[in-house]
Structure 1
């Protein structure tokens, strides 16, 4: 329910990243990932491919049919920062801390298909990230469960009128 401060007024969400668009710009990523899946000489590296090769028609269909599990995280950006050892210019950021509804936080990289959308990642903005969980060849996980690769499928972020 909106408050007098307007802090809880819902803002429209803008899709800023889709894996499909990113892969269309970088077909070598698909080729390399699929090659590693097919490489039997590397039994502990790459995706298992049980539901189709990465980014293949069968893989996308497996996501749509829910044979591949997805995970959605939604929260508010608590802070933005630069992570890593690469050089950067000025106040450039590439990561953020997301506060989830349960009070926990996760640190995540900024994903955008268009560089100018990075400016939308500011404290207070709401973010929804959708991941696909794809089983890895190397099993089991440390906790004896299934070991998954967690790949970002989509990212949407709230926008203020002055950011549109």
Structure 2
């Protein structure tokens, strides 16, 4: 599953995979699948058209392209703390990415190991791959398909000037 992603990120280190995150939190799979299957919640959860979340059928649907993915790649302009929760010291959880077209996006920091958060510094290149999974609640506000964007993988390079 990660082969194409890793190939496009040749000089990058993978710091997050959904498979590793789910292995540490198996209840997330059960809760997500239960919500998909709950007929009493027709507007909440994933649609499940191409397999239940994290099932073999779901992963196969991602691999074959039946479930779309989206990759966001850019250079970190800044890292910062977002939110109201308390934090310790200089802990950061978000980044501003400058994309190739010159626009910026705000993204959260995802890592499987807390120590890798220190890699998210200005000048580093980040690639985030999302799975776009249809939600039960349709259509989206713009009339299109309403998707949940779930992070599949995150890879990061060293900052410019350090490589």
Fold-level match, TM-score > 0.5?
Answer: yes
- 1-structure distance, mates of 2:124, 2:148: 27
Q: Equivalent residues in 2 for 1:14-163 (5 A)? A: 14-159=13-158
Q: CA deviation at 1:159?
A: 2.6
- 2-structure distance, mates of 1:68, 1:158: 27
SS for the counterpart of 1:159 is strand
- 1-structure distance, mates of 2:11, 2:86: 34
Q: CA deviation at 1:42?
A: 0.4
- 1-structure distance, mates of 2:63, 2:89: 41
- 2-structure distance, mates of 1:153, 1:36: 20
- Computed over aligned residues only, the root mean square deviation of the Cα atoms, in angstroms, reads 1.5
Q: CA deviation at 1:90?
A: 1.1
SS for the counterpart of 1:64 is helix
- 1-structure distance, mates of 2:141, 2:11: 40
- The more displaced of 11-20 and 33-42 is 11-20
Larger radius of gyration: 1
Q: CA deviation at 1:105?
A: 0.8
Aligned length: 152
- Shift >6 Å, 4+ stretches: none
